[in-house]
Chains A and B, each alone.
Chain A
Amino acid sequence: MADHAQEHAHDSAHAEGHDHDEHPVDNFWTKYVFSTDHKMIAKQFLITGMFMGLIGVFMSMLFRLQLAWPGESFPILETFLGKWAPDGVLDPNMYLALVTIHGTIMVFFVLTAGLSGTFSNLLIPLQIGARDMASGFLNMISYWLFAASSVVMLSSLFVETGPASGGWTVYPPLSALPQAMPGSGAGMTLWLVSMTLFVGGSLIGSLNYIVTVINLRTKGMTMTRLPLTIWAFLVTAILGVLSFPVLLSAALLLIFDRSMGTSFYLSDIMVAGELLSNQGGSPILYEHLFWFLGHPEVYIILLPALGITSEVIATNSRKPIFGYRAMIGSILAIAFLSFIVWGHHMFITGMNPFLGSVFTFTTLLIAIPSAVKAFNYITTLWKGNIQFTPAMLFSIALVSTFVAGGLTGIILGDSALDINVHDTYFVVAHFHIVMGLSAIFGMFAGVYHWFPKMYGRMMNKTMGYLHFWISFVTAYGVFFPMHFTGLAGLPRRYYSSAEFPIFDELHDINVIITFFAIGGGIAQLIFIFNFFYSMWRGPKAPQNPWRSNTLEWTAPVEHMHGNWPGAIPEVQRWPYDYSKPGYEEDFVPQNVPIKEGEHAH
């Protein structure tokens, strides 16, 4: 099978006909489980990501109950958490565990693997005109490492001492010392094992994406004719390859400190009455290593969503994306800058104040390419003929949250201001809006838009609308008010704010947030229902349901190995010829030759 994909990949450059009847017949295992076909692997990533997403969101609903009504009893907590919620009252350690696993799942499992894994896999070969990924076999391994890491992460929920609880950043010494909190025992070990597998899978996947984009583009598909989705996936993969290994080394050193008595991160510690022998290490080293991945990670999450949005907005505005080259330029600028801003997470760790200034400078610089992107999206809408598909709605929502969340980044990136809002709910509001919501909306946009490409059927539009509006309203309803609790000085990762009378006033806000959170969480069931219903019962998809220009819509609806039955289409033009003067239709697919006298982009 792997050889097969390679063989197709080889001839893709020559775009010659190929006889596909020679394929061995797929059985259940090779088709659905150990598949090397990029389209199937994309679906595997998506379903796994959605499953993890449901768990992550459900966890946030559970701990939001505690935050709105601290210390009150909720039978549902005991039902799901058992001994961690005796009589329905959440245990403080379990609160931290839920927050930690929620954060880990959302960031890595849903929005890294689920988002970029799904759409890089689905779209890279289809949009660049390749028969499959460069290596179908490695692609399969990448998914299975991700699946294994998901299983390990979920299994950590069931260990005696509970899952990792030190926050998704798992700073040592807290995460290194089982004496410091129960979650730093076996749960933390599993967390580290899981992340190690995860990084492995992510690296293999990313390398594959990079090689595929560089080598397997069909004839005529120059870099400046690539859809912005592909640019986004390519740059994301490069970010991943450069930064994930650093996370892996951070995790490895932590493993050594935990189980082999080394002192990379530990020095002069007395915990639970016991003096440790470790000396000379520094927890700050861990923070540097972690955030060297951690910040690029934000863009690893965000860029694919922005790429998807570019495509969806252009298609459904029936207009070329505005400033195509500027969009590529800003993706590259953001990617480059994302490697030199990690210190903004560490302004108050005691770093040299001069360094703080440097990181403030680089951080605020990122606002410029981000602003360019936002303005370009908005200008794309201008004088458009906007078709409000559910995907389009989610894309517009993404622009809105990207702007709203990006703006508060200007506050947090400023070292002087960060002193007082660091680690408060202001931060929680900021990153959920700019990264969480934007990326989730981008992911939904992608699913609604490319569902026909994945399953050959259409999703239900009306349910899509319902899902969108509830999600959009509740999302802002949850995270906008958090700015205010943050500005009231409420620290994040607090099990309860009831110990401080000064926070009593925030009770109403917390209740409002929780109502929105529960409403928004439940609304996702509409999506789940729509997804599975349409998968089996949705109307059959036409060849090109959104009348879009990119190559994937020239491939047959029925999936096949090698994507196109005959020759791979040749690319003649850029992907954004929408409503081009001189054409009857309001779209001109990439494989349509330039007419005589036509001005090519």
Chain B
Amino acid sequence: MTGIITIVVLVLAVITALQLMRVFELSTKARKQVEYEVTDRDNNYQGWLMLLFGIAMIVSLFWMLYAWLPVTLPKPSSEHGVEIDSLFKISMWVIIAMFLLVQPVLFYFAWRYRGAKDRKAAYYEHNNRLELIWTIVPAIILAVLIIYGMTTWSNVMSPKNEKEPIVVEVYAQQFKWIIRYAGEDNKLGYANVRLIKDANVVGVDTLDLLSADDKVTSEIHLPVGRPVLFRFRSQDVIHSAYMPHFRAQMNCVPGMTTQFQFTPSVTTADIRQDANVQAKVARINALRTEKGLESYAYDYLLLCNKVCGSGHFNMQMNIVVESEEEYAKWLAEQKTIAETL
């Protein structure tokens, strides 16, 4: 039924459009106009529309920045995250400045030089000086960004350790995460998917002495201020461990181990006190009450950020950052592999 109605509506729409076109054609014919020719009037209209568009675009950019910057991620909760964010801010300023320089000029020129019958364009084919300038100026700006970016990158990827990092394995499978702590010796025992059996869900080699004190958990707890070395594995397809609040992400690739290290710098309890975060949570809870959903308290998250199948959109785990003591207490409650297997 809907099918028939849709077809009828479509047919009617096409017929209407055709009729409108007839009327339109006759009227242009009456005015002895060649429809496709661009008249001065057209140029005027379109030129003004271009200018208007340019202005509207800039205004809406500022409106979006005003309205939507608050929904973006709050301040970073890791040490390197601060560095990444300052690089990000500087790059962002540069590109916004370039945007505000180039777009207005484009639309201004479009308006300013809108055509008219009695005008003639300048014959201006090149200017080596100008071209050199706009090759070199972007090159310099980019050189600065590249150097700054590379330094940040190498600081992030090859951090210098004052304290020994805690080793934590993040194990991905369709569609959940499993965590393994390295235990007393801070060394993960050997593991491979071939060894998965019953309760041994991440395939730990129980014969490997290093594995006896490992602890498999279903939560991530991290002590504040201690570097954490994450080692990532995957059981089936590629996943990506994305921890946006820490500005951290690394793919989990079957058949190999990847790693990423960072130092959490703000506890969960503290970030909940942050003014921006509180405002955010208040806004979110207002929306949730409206829909009759349970209220929400802010948490750090681990999410999957590489498409991995139908459950990709809901592959999440909370991350709790707490004091050294709370962390030690929580970890002590977890069972070792020796105890569970």
List residues of chain A with CB under 8 Å of any chain B CB: 75, 79, 91-93, 96, 166-167, 171, 173-174, 177, 180-181, 266-272, 275, 279-284, 317-326, 348-350, 353, 356-357, 360-361, 364-365, 367-368, 371-372, 374-376, 378-379, 381-389, 393, 396, 399-400, 403-404, 407-408, 410-411, 414-417, 419-420, 422-424, 458-462, 465, 469, 472-473, 476, 480-481, 484-485, 487-489, 491, 493-497, 499-502, 504-507, 509, 529, 533, 537, 539, 545, 576, 578-581, 586, 601
Are A319 and B122 also in contact (CB < 8 A) when A420-B247, A488-B71 are?
A: yes
Of chain B, the residue at the smallest CB distance from A469 is B49
A322 touches B139 (CB 8 A): no
A399 touches B18 (CB 8 A): no
User: B330 at the A/B interface (Cβ < 8 Å)?
Assistant: no
A491 touches B71 (CB 8 A): no
Cross-chain pairs A/B with CB under 8 angstroms, 18 sampled: A174-B308, A270-B196, A272-B174, A283-B253, A376-B131, A381-B109, A383-B122, A396-B110, A416-B83, A416-B152, A416-B156, A420-B249, A423-B240, A458-B36, A461-B42, A497-B313, A502-B284, A601-B125
Are A388 and B138 also in contact (CB < 8 A) when A414-B149, A476-B57 are?
A: no
Residues of B within 8 A of A181 (CB): 309-310
A386 touches B47 (CB 8 A): yes
Residues of A within 8 A of B103 (CB): 400, 403-404
Are A578 and B121 also in contact (CB < 8 A) when A75-B2, A348-B240, A360-B153 are?
A: yes
A284 touches B253 (CB 8 A): yes
Residues of A within 8 A of B232 (CB): 350
B301 touches A92 (CB 8 A): no
Of chain A, the residue at the smallest CB distance from B134 is A375
B278 CB, min distance to chain A CBs, angstroms: 14
B123 CB, min distance to chain A CBs, angstroms: 5
Of chain B, the residue at the smallest CB distance from A451 is B36
Residues of A within 8 A of B127 (CB): 322-323
B284 touches A357 (CB 8 A): no
User: B55 at the A/B interface (Cβ < 8 Å)?
Assistant: no
User: In whole angstroms, what is the CA distance A413 to B127 when docked?
Assistant: 31
A79 touches B3 (CB 8 A): yes
Are A388 and B46 also in contact (CB < 8 A) when A283-B254, A419-B84, A580-B123 are?
A: yes
Residues of A within 8 A of B310 (CB): 91-93, 96, 181, 495
B145 CB, min distance to chain A CBs, angstroms: 7
Q: How many residues of B contact A (CB 8 A)?
A: 121
Besides A79-B2, A488-B73, A501-B288, 4 other A-B contacts (C-beta < 8 A): A96-B307, A407-B98, A414-B149, A491-B305
Residues of B within 8 A of A586 (CB): 120-121
Residues of B within 8 A of A400 (CB): 103, 106-107
Of chain A, the residue at the smallest CB distance from B92 is A411
Q: Report which of A174, A323, A481, A496 forms a contact with B131, defined as CB distance below 8 A.
A: A323
User: B115 at the A/B interface (Cβ < 8 Å)?
Assistant: yes
User: B34 at the A/B interface (Cβ < 8 Å)?
Assistant: yes
Residues of A within 8 A of B157 (CB): 353, 356
B162 CB, min distance to chain A CBs, angstroms: 20
User: B296 at the A/B interface (Cβ < 8 Å)?
Assistant: yes
Of chain B, the residue at the smallest CB distance from A477 is B60
B64 touches A319 (CB 8 A): no
Q: Report which of B38, B92, B106, B254 forms a contact with A389, defined as CB distance below 8 A.
A: B38
Chain B, residues 104-125, CB within 8 Å of chain A (1/0): the string is 0111011001111001111111
B192 touches A381 (CB 8 A): no
User: In whole angstroms, what is the CA distance A375 to B109 when docked?
Assistant: 12
User: In whole angstroms, what is the CA distance A348 to B305 when docked?
Assistant: 11
Residues of B within 8 A of A501 (CB): 284, 288, 293, 296
Pick from B24, B46, B256 the residue with the most CB of A within 10 Å.
Answer: B46
Interface residues of B in 140-167 (CB under 8 A from A): 142, 145-146, 149-150, 152-154, 156-158
Are A461 and B38 also in contact (CB < 8 A) when A378-B106, A387-B115, A388-B46 are?
A: yes
Across chains A and B, which 3 residue pairs bring their CB atoms closest together, nearest first?
Answer: A267-B255, A350-B258, A388-B46
Of chain A, the residue at the smallest CB distance from B111 is A386
Q: Report which of B193, B235, B251, B313 forms a contact with A349, defined as CB distance below 8 A.
A: B251
User: In whole angstroms, what is the CA distance A325 to B238 when docked?
Assistant: 45
A487 touches B73 (CB 8 A): yes
User: In whole angstroms, what is the CA distance A502 to B49 when docked?
Assistant: 39
Q: Report which of B99, B109, B138 forms a contact with A404, defined as CB distance below 8 A.
A: B99
Are A385 and B84 also in contact (CB < 8 A) when A357-B150, A481-B68, A484-B71 are?
A: no
